[in-house]
Structure 1
């Protein structure tokens, strides 16, 4: 999970990380992808711009100090990782892809669970806000009643008065 990054609003994995998982050289992985470019549309795989690469390098430490790269790194979305199993035709690639897809699925489930929790919290907040408004209204009415009572003139008592007073 620590090799999954959030770039351009998508969860992706770097080509170097995938090559290490598949136990192939990065240049071999890139070569296979370029040979099968039609299998990797923009929503499956894209190359990082120099600015994105620099930001990912500084934030994630993807390259050690002093190392250089010749080509921009490729990043693969969940669908791109699944497509790699058809390009890298080995049992290792298939097993690694199964594990990666499971991790992506687990992340999606965690995000869905968080979304459900946020919705429940918002419902509770809305209820509390409306109850707070209702309580303010009740106290305002009580204040008005108290003010009316204190402003009113004393009433003349009517009824039977005993003589012994």
Structure 2
């Protein structure tokens, strides 16, 4: 049995392995295998033996295009160095299910840590959503005020044109007025 110090993975390491793909926060099979202390091949075998536990919103396989985009973003991945198969990615629920399939102490401990990180991310984003909604409300109010101010200046311009006509001024100087 592994001791607790061997199970600890810094949160920053886990967070750096979370990606946004198809609008979902997910983790790659290879990253999870590394965190769980197993091989990607073994992780995928266990998943394939238990596919009924992994519906599409728990886990999905990347397309070739998605994989190429991801590879181009991750400088550490070099062509030919990793699996010839397209990677699986797991959502928060898929990661929880992985701990049931892999059953090692490390997999259970790391899965709990990952789920806790997903919860923290969700809470952080919820807080930011409130801030963004408030900013949008302020922008809307300012936009409405801008329209009112523009209308006020338009009315002032019209008043100036219709009601303020300069009186002819008496000339001062040496020239006669009848020119």
TM interval, shorter chain, is 0.7 to 0.9
For normalisation by structure 1, the TM-score amounts to: 0.83
Residues 1:68 and 1:85: Cα distance change in structure 2 (over 3 Å): closer
> 2:37: which partner in 1?
23
Pairing of 1:132-151 with structure 2 (within 5 A): 132-151=146-165
Q: Please list every run of 5 or more consecutive structure 2 residues that lacks an aligned counterpart in the other structure.
A: 1-14, 168-179
What is the Cα deviation at residue 144 of structure 1? 2.8
Q: List structure 1 runs of 4+ shifted beyond 4 angstroms.
A: none
What is the Cα deviation at residue 65 of structure 1? 4.7
Q: CA RMSD in A?
A: 2.1
What is the Cα deviation at residue 90 of structure 1? 1.8
Asked whether the equivalents of residues 56 and 62 of structure 1 are also in contact (C-alpha less than 8 Å), the reply is: no
- SS at the partner of 2:60? strand
Instruction: Specify which of 42, 51, 58 is matched with residue 65 of structure 2.
Output: 51
> 2:129: which partner in 1?
115
| Cα separation, 2, equivalents of 1:80 and 1:134 | 52
Pairing of 1:1-165 with structure 2 (within 5 A): 1-61=15-75, 63-151=77-165
Residues 1:28 and 1:139: Cα distance change in structure 2 (over 3 Å): same
- SS at the partner of 1:138? helix
For normalisation by structure 2, the TM-score amounts to: 0.77
What is the Cα deviation at residue 54 of structure 1? 1.9
Q: Please list every run of 5 or more consecutive structure 1 residues that lacks an aligned counterpart in the other structure.
A: 154-165
What is the Cα deviation at residue 139 of structure 1? 2.4
Residues 1:12 and 1:138: Cα distance change in structure 2 (over 3 Å): same
| Cα separation, 2, equivalents of 1:132 and 1:44 | 47
| Cα separation, 2, equivalents of 1:18 and 1:98 | 13
**Alpha-carbon displacement from aligned partner over 1:113-155 (angstroms, at most 9, x marks no partner):** 22222211111111111112222222222333333332499xx
What is the Cα deviation at residue 62 of structure 1? 5.6
